[in-house]
Structure 1
């Protein structure tokens, strides 16, 4: 049989094993796996490379069409950065763009803004805000893969602003009840709003303005309390729950206990909680500010134990970019978000596989398989016959220093600038088409599609 492409001689990460074999691609899907597969129009030599399913990044902020934030990050730049970073599907958050994605109309505005600009695939989340509970069904009817809400303070509560905003306990309960009826999953940013806001104001008033003071204003217990509250309400309403970007092992322990009791709950964490500690945060400055915050080395070591033990379902970037001016000034005033979409695969491969011995099969599950399964992306997340040929080839033991010039973002800065990373993305394929090559850069752009369920 003849194929469009055959990837030869690589170490291929399959569902339950990683073996040296070949992968044949035809019409954008994986058609065969094995040796002596036949002929192809093109052969890709992957000798010395790890052939992994492309990352399904379950937490990405893209601000097209943007409104007042139109200069933060666009579909074109974000999805090119994704391709360069080995990400083949982005699950896009319903904020920080204006208007926020909270109903049929605003979802269609996003789709229109992305037409002809996607280099990788994008799946969309809808938002749960105080004033759209009666319209949540519209988003389900349009095929969103889930919904996002905040119980920490965010955005502008005025519905006329078009911005996102957090929900109170009653709105959360009502929203969960409706999403349970719709059979949809709710993703949550879980920090106690009142306590974090109060501690932050107190720190500023007292002149405690360092990075570690910022961390202290969002202590672990504020995350744990919000997680417990969310778990309880989700159990009461029957809502499927996913906890976003957990930063503490104590919070993950709450998820593990709930899961072991039979509750339908999952959680994610982010590469920066494993790659940066509080001392490095102080050195990097506002580029590494996020919430929940980067924490200390002991917390990080215990997070690694949870990850390696399988208690964290997947890793995301929580790519949350802004313009450079919003990272200027003091730590409490700066925008809280890290630009990281381009450097999840290489950093986590280096830190997890090369430095800590994580099995390649676990790496692929954390980066691709588990998020694809959670969001119902049936064609994504695996190297298996019949699946989309979304593939990243990783060059191990290949150190480089990340510079601003390497970044594809609209605003070229990152908390990882100057970092030595011990692996590189060598090639990225989307449905069998090469969209990034380490020598040629981003190629064949705008092959991406919006994916619905």
Structure 2
């Protein structure tokens, strides 16, 4: 599948030296050469390079060099509305993603698919592409039958390169359309066929609420149809400890698990786990590391409801939460970089079928971050070979 290309003149040749490279696992390289939006050379001794044109040289001074973050769920035109029009959340701006280290993201509608719609979402996706990011989207929304741009899920996937799946379909949630097993099976099958015909993964992203069925609708799809488990991508699996235990069993059976990085103290008090703790628990209980991802749920509403479904309060998700939770996993939870970095880079790229994303290797898209090894702060963001942002040096 073709990768989104940022607009403007070609990125210059850039040589990054003296870095500690994570590919996302620790590698033997310390230098990368970027050209034409790709990584064209990796090694240890840049003196081996002979080029007939000038090269911009950047001394990483021992900083970590890691792949750009891949966010499988962001509500880039905002979400919310569960408390009325005064509770609508704002749009995401490109510089917010860039400063947060997110170089690839996938956008979705949420509860409101009436005043926020797919044409608006597609326009915003292309706005982010024009800013230099790799942006994609899901067709559909919380509710079934799926709303589409072309008239069907299959056509959206086949005809629009920006669309890579369907979702976020709400299940086990009082805000869902209470879809039947048949409706879910038909929608996932449509995404799978459209994906096959377009050379895409065609995943179905599922919003998991705190309803009594939990992951049962997805288990039923696996048990009662021929749909592959890899087409099913449940998110918000850290919403509660009981749901996490279901997700751990699902992951041990080979399913994918996505943890929402955005959370609030009030939600943690109500039983939600943050993504860092959920990751540590999954790894300790035997879930394969390549089954797990983090998403930001950026600019979505984070509502709190009482036992009767009345809204108690609402705030918005943040795109910088992905790296914040990755840092917590390495510091507070004691996980190694090689355990954590794939969860926010390679894993979501592989799950979504974005083969040129999420890893550092010759021929891959040149999406990468520089990270201060002492503070774990992101100090520079490159997307498609362009340095889009860097943290100013202190005076």
TM range (shorter): 0.7 to 0.9
The correspondence of residues 390-409 of structure 1 with structure 2, limited to 5 A, is 390-398=367-375
1:58 shift after superposition? 0.9
So what's the TM-score if we normalise by structure 2?
Answer: 0.75
Partner of 2:311, secondary structure, is coil
Partner of 1:384, secondary structure, is coil
The correspondence of residues 345-364 of structure 1 with structure 2, limited to 5 A, is 345-349=323-327, 351-364=328-341
Partner of 1:125, secondary structure, is strand
The change in CA–CA distance for 1:9 and 1:338 in structure 2 (over 3 A counts) is same
Work out whether residues 320 and 339 of structure 1, in 8 Å CA contact, stay in contact via their aligned partners in 2: yes
1:177 shift after superposition? 3.9
- List per-residue Cα deviations over 1:11-56 (Å, max 9, x = no partner): 1112553345101101111010012333652122212311110000
The change in CA–CA distance for 1:384 and 1:294 in structure 2 (over 3 A counts) is farther
Report how many residues are paired.
Answer: 349
Q: Does 1:373 align with 2:350?
A: yes
2:388 to 435, 445, 450: 435
State how far apart, in whole Å, the 1-side matches of 2:24 and 2:153 are: 35
The change in CA–CA distance for 1:336 and 1:126 in structure 2 (over 3 A counts) is farther
The correspondence of residues 333-352 of structure 1 with structure 2, limited to 5 A, is 333-334=311-312, 336=314, 338-349=316-327, 351-352=328-329
Which residue of 2 is the match for residue 135 of structure 1?
152
Which residue of 2 is the match for residue 146 of structure 1?
165
Task: Looking at secondary structure, tell me which structure has more helix per residue.
Answer: 1
State how far apart, in whole Å, the 2-side matches of 1:130 and 1:296 are: 29
Which residue of 2 is the match for residue 229 of structure 1?
217
The change in CA–CA distance for 1:27 and 1:245 in structure 2 (over 3 A counts) is same
Name stretches of at least 5 consecutive residues in structure 2 with no aligned partner. Answer: 1-11, 197-201
Partner of 1:385, secondary structure, is coil
So what's the TM-score if we normalise by structure 1?
Answer: 0.66
Q: Does 1:74 align with 2:83?
A: no
Name stretches of at least 5 consecutive residues in structure 1 with no aligned partner. Answer: 158-164, 194-221, 260-264, 274-280, 399-422, 442-453
The change in CA–CA distance for 1:302 and 1:23 in structure 2 (over 3 A counts) is closer
Which residue of 2 is the match for residue 111 of structure 1?
122
1:245 to 236, 243, 249: 236
Q: Does 1:178 align with 2:195?
A: no
Work out whether residues 20 and 62 of structure 2, in 8 Å CA contact, stay in contact via their aligned partners in 1: yes
1:254 to 239, 244, 249: 249
1:269 to 248, 254, 259: 259
Which residue of 1 is the match for residue 298 of structure 2?
319
Which residue of 2 is the match for residue 415 of structure 1?
none
Which residue of 2 is the match for residue 90 of structure 1?
105
1:24 to 33, 40, 44: 33
Which residue of 2 is the match for residue 408 of structure 1?
none
Which residue of 2 is the match for residue 305 of structure 1?
281
1:57 shift after superposition? 0.7
Q: Does 1:425 align with 2:378?
A: yes
2:55 to 26, 41, 45: 41
Work out whether residues 319 and 338 of structure 1, in 8 Å CA contact, stay in contact via their aligned partners in 2: yes
State how far apart, in whole Å, the 2-side matches of 1:131 and 1:256 are: 28
**Pairwise CA RMSD of aligned residues?**
3.7
